Amino acid sequence: MRPSEAKDHPVAGRPPGPCPAPAHLARDGRDPRVVDADVPAAVGRVLQWVLAERTERATAMDPDFGRDLAERLARFTLDGGKRIRSQFTWWAMRACGGGAAEADAALHVGAALELIQSCALVHDDVMDGSRLRRGRLSLHADVTAQYADTVPGGAGSRLGEAAAILAGDLALAWADDLVADVEAPRPRARAVRDLWSLMRTEMVAGQYLDLQGQALSSRSLTRAIRAACLKSALYSVERPLALGAALAGADAARSQALCSAGRCVGIAFQLRDDLSDVFGDPRHTGKPIGGDIRAGKPTYLVAVAQARAEAAGDRRGLAVLRRSLGRADLPESRLAEVLDVLVATGARDIVEAKIDRLAGHAMRHLESAQLEPEGHLPLRDLLLATAGSCACPPPPPGHPNAEDGLPVSLLLTAAVEAAARRAPEEAAR
């Protein structure tokens, strides 16, 4: 249901009738230049209106359901995040020639992306056992704390986790509602729905590979890249770009270039996230460092460190990784040893270099697309910021950061490029 066409639901206790969107939302939909000035704010306004209507319905169904799940989910969605995915959709639409006719649909697809991101984060926190998100209690921990005085012991934790799973399901349902009601010419609407369906499955597949690799203590470079591609590259960058291009009716050349650029940046984004987990500042990340190490996540960073240590016969480094990865109670002193291994093996520098190479590839794909000026430069800046790179040229062969001695990494780079070339066919399907 679109806010501009919403009908009062019978359970809301009000007579049926039109529920027009506020004037500022209608203005955004008519003039894309208003949105260009602040895309996150425009998406936020749509989310505020949509979530207010959804929480009102939920509260009318049952006050506890509305308070504990719907309102909590709405706050979670509105209070945090940089709206990266919705920005990719907007600027891809603009770069492919979309304007006033496509603006409203792009904002609603952007709002849907923010809701599916809420679903992913809320579920991730349950699966990872994370008590903090964005510097505050995660949703399941917040529900547990709410009922700490009335639900004893482990039952309170189980309630919190179950409530978070349901909240994530609710976010996904609301996101699907928004996409289902997007108005566009039939071929474009069909392309959007097909991409949306594909993206949801890819997101789940990537999360499962991540969890399975964690349980099996996998340190495979190939598997780490595959999981990063599914979990971040496609879901976080490539598919949002493809959705914007589809809304604008982009031709095959533009779609292919955007998908290729998006996949490269998406993988770089995940690699940057892996680095931030161990070398980042908790004041900026909103969570303690070393979470991936303590959880034993099969990141590319750790896989490179292990491969380098094995190639060099570094038994001490291998021993540190073996006894530290997956230790939930790992003390700070032992975490510092792991960080030393990540630096000493050259893994940190290798990942930094790969990020820059991927960003460089992305810029070459982007420049080949012949995009419209309204969206070209904003999209370029957003891609580089997401990759966390200045897109410097890769180091020459023989340079300490050039990944010498790791032939598999060269194969992975080729695989990434091949996957990027296949992206437009997948999006078309």
- H-helix segments, 239-326: 239-248, 252-279, 282-285, 291-295, 300-312, 315-324
State the average pLDDT for the chain: 85
**pLDDT at residue 264 in the model:** 95
- The pLDDT confidence band at residue 5, using thresholds 50, 70 and 90, is very low
pLDDT tens track for 142-189: 999 999 989 987 899 999 999 999 999 999 999 999 999 999 999 999
Tokens 């966390």 found at: 388
| pTM score, whole prediction | 0.83
- Compute the radius of gyration of the chain from its Cα atoms: 22
For position 24, what pLDDT does the model report? Answer: 53
What ranges do the domains of the chain cover?
Answer: 1-181, 184-429
Per-residue pLDDT band at 395 (split at 50, 70, 90):
very low
- Those residues with Cβ within 8 angstroms of residue 338's Cβ, 6 or more apart along the chain or in another chain: 278, 290, 293, 320, 321, 324, 325, 330
Q: Residue 425 — pLDDT band, cuts 50, 70, 90?
A: very low
Taking CA atoms, 359 is separated from 296, 350, 420, in Å, by 27, 14, 13
Q: Half-sphere exposure (CA, 13 Å, Cβ side) for 295?
A: 23
- Residue 268's closest CA among 303, 239, 225? 225
Average pLDDT for residues 119-129, to the nearest whole number? 92
Q: Is the dihedral of CA 13, 16, 22, 25 positive or negative?
A: positive
Token pair listed for 313: 């016969």
Q: How many whole angstroms separate alpha carbon 320 and alpha carbon 306? A: 10
C-alpha distances in angstroms, 315 versus 22, 51, 309, 319? 65, 54, 7, 6
pLDDT by residue (tens digit) across 207-220? 898 888 888 887 78
> b/e string for 328-355 if b means 16 or more Cβ within 10 A?
eebeeebbebbbebbebbbbbbbbbbbb
Amino acid letter for position 283? R
Cα separation, 395 vs 354, whole angstroms: 10
Q: What is the pLDDT of residue 197?
A: 96
Q: Domain spanning 184-429: which CATH class is it, in words?
A: mainly alpha
CA-nearest of 254, 266, 274 to 383 is: 266
> How many CA atoms lie less than 13 Å away from 25 in the CB half-sphere?
22
* N residues, the chain: 429
Mean pLDDT of 64-84: 94
Beta bridge partners of 132: 137
Higher confidence at residue 243 or residue 285? Answer: 243
